[in-house]
């Protein structure tokens, strides 16, 4: 097992490089791609997209499996996703709002840009499809949300070990490629939409349940999570995206406060939230949010949206 001090030294260096890179690449976004068809549009109870006009406005969501509501108990994407739950709340105030989802389970920052996992009609990648839609509906899009990067580092913690080289490479990729993604979205969508991206909770906190060695791993995972989310925040900030601070809502770094969890006893609040809001402490041992967790994430985005009103 790697020492926390070594992890901290190494990852702080990575994040410092990411911050410097973000400062240098915050201008001159790449040109927008050509028009592409959305993957999963929904309006009145999931009805299909009927095109422009009729006073419609659009909410465009991009991301990985969290953006499409993957649930391990049914082994598929569901309408429990945070964009679907956010859309349901927003539509109460705007009945003409249409949700257009481009999300793709398993997506990394690299595949979001270059493609290779999900198929999009008329576009090679999720980013190209979304950029095409934004360009074609410029002035009609109200909101763009984004989550990406978890799959860049997800495989770096195995058992009681953290592959530091893997973590460094993943964080560096996020720091380099997330600004490219965000900048291209803003270039295509123009100034009207509100652009919001999220950071992540730390599912590896579940190691806390494994005794003294697991508790050390849980603390080390927060060091990784802090560095990872720092790269995300830098990339979003450099591109003019607002931050939905999911990590803070999950109390990721708070081992001090203790709360009771049925069947598990007293736990640090950060571990408790992972157990209550994801599938990690169930027989599925899965990093994805459950329906309640997706609702919590939707609430974080909603609070950012409401700050603009």
The angle at the Cα of 71, spanning 67 to 72, to the nearest 5 degrees, equals 135
Q: Where are the beta strands (DSSP E) in 4-49?
A: 40-42
CB under 8 Å to 47, separation ≥6 — which residues?
Answer: none
- Is it the case that residue 6 has pLDDT exceeding 70? no
pLDDT of residue 147: 98
For the chain, helix, strand, coil in percent to 5 are 50, 15, 35
Question: Confidence class of residue 10 from pLDDT cuts 50, 70 and 90?
Answer: very low
- Is it the case that residue 75 has pLDDT exceeding 80? yes
Residue 236's nearest CA partner among 202, 187, 201, 198 is: 198
pLDDT of residue 123: 98
pLDDT of residue 178: 98
Pairing relation of β-strands 141-147 and 157-158? unpaired
pLDDT of residue 277: 98
β-bridge mates for residue 221, sequence order: none
- Is it the case that residue 153 has pLDDT exceeding 70? yes
How far is residue 3's CA from residue 6's CA, in Å, rounded to a whole number? 5
Q: Give the pLDDT mean for 249-278.
A: 98
CB atoms within 10 A of CB 21: 18
pLDDT of residue 54: 56
Q: Give the pLDDT mean for 77-104.
A: 97
How far is residue 302's CA from residue 26's CA, in Å, rounded to a whole number? 26
- Is it the case that residue 28 has pLDDT exceeding 50? no
- Between residues 18 and 252, which one has the greater pLDDT? 252
The model's pLDDT over 283-300, given as tens digits with 9 standing for 90+, comes to: 999 999 999 999 999 999
Q: What percent of the chain has pLDDT over 90?
A: 75
pLDDT of residue 160: 57
Question: Confidence class of residue 5 from pLDDT cuts 50, 70 and 90?
Answer: very low
Q: Are 7 and 223 in contact (CB under 8 A)?
A: yes
Helix (H, G, I), strand (E, B) or coil at 92: coil
Radius of gyration of the chain, Cα coordinates, nearest whole angstrom: 19
β-bridge mates for residue 71, sequence order: 76
Domain spans, the chain:
4-307
- Between residues 53 and 196, which one has the greater pLDDT? 196
pLDDT of residue 308: 81
Residue 176's nearest CA partner among 2, 12, 15 is: 15
Question: Confidence class of residue 7 from pLDDT cuts 50, 70 and 90?
Answer: very low
Identify the H or E element spanning 199: none
- Is it the case that residue 205 has pLDDT exceeding 60? yes
- Is it the case that residue 91 has pLDDT exceeding 50? yes
- Is it the case that residue 251 has pLDDT exceeding 70? yes
CB under 8 Å to 52, separation ≥6 — which residues?
Answer: 136, 137, 140
User: Of 83-87, 98-102, 152-156, where does mean pLDDT reach its minimum?
Assistant: 152-156
Q: Give the pLDDT mean for 130-147.
A: 98
Q: What architecture is the 4-307 domain classified under in CATH?
A: 3-Layer(aba) Sandwich (3.40)
Q: Give the pLDDT mean for 238-255.
A: 97
Token pair of 62 as six digits: 């991009």
């Amino acid at each position: 097992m790697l020492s926390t001090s070594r992890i901290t030294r190494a990852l702080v260096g990575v994040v410092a490089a990411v911050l410097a890179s973000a400062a240098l690449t915050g201008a001159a976004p790449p040109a927008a791609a050509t028009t592409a068809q959305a993957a999963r549009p929904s309006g009145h109870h999931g009805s299909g997209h009927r095109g422009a006009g009729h006073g419609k406005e659009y909410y465009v969501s991009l991301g990985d499996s969290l953006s499409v509501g993957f649930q391990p108990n049914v082994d598929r994407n569901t309408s429990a996703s945070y964009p679907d739950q956010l859309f349901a709340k927003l539509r109460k105030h705007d009945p003409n709002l249409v949700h257009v989802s481009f999300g793709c389970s398993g997506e990394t920052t690299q595949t979001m840009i270059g493609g290779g996992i999900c198929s999009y009609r008329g576009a090679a990648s999720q980013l190209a499809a979304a950029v095409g839609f934004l360009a074609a509906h410029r002035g009609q899009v109200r909101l763009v949300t984004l989550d990406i990067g978890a799959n860049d580092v997800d495989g770096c913690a195995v058992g009681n070990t953290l592959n530091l080289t893997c973590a460094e490479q993943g964080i560096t990729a996020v720091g380099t490629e997330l600004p490219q993604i965000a900048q291209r979205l803003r270039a295509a969508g123009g100034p009207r939409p509100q652009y919001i991206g999220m950071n992540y909770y730390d599912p590896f906190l579940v190691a806390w349940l494994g005794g003294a060695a697991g508790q050390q791993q849980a603390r080390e995972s927060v060091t990784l999570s802090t560095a990872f989310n720092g790269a995300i925040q830098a990339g979003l900030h450099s591109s003019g995206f607002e931050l939905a601070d999911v990590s803070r809502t999950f109390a990721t770094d708070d081992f001090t406060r203790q709360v009771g969890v049925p069947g598990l006893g007293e736990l640090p609040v950060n571990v408790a939230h992972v157990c209550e809001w994801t599938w990690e402490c169930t027989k599925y041992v899965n990093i994805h949010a459950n329906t309640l967790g997706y609702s919590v994430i939707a609430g974080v985005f909603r609070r950012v949206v409401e700050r603009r009103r």
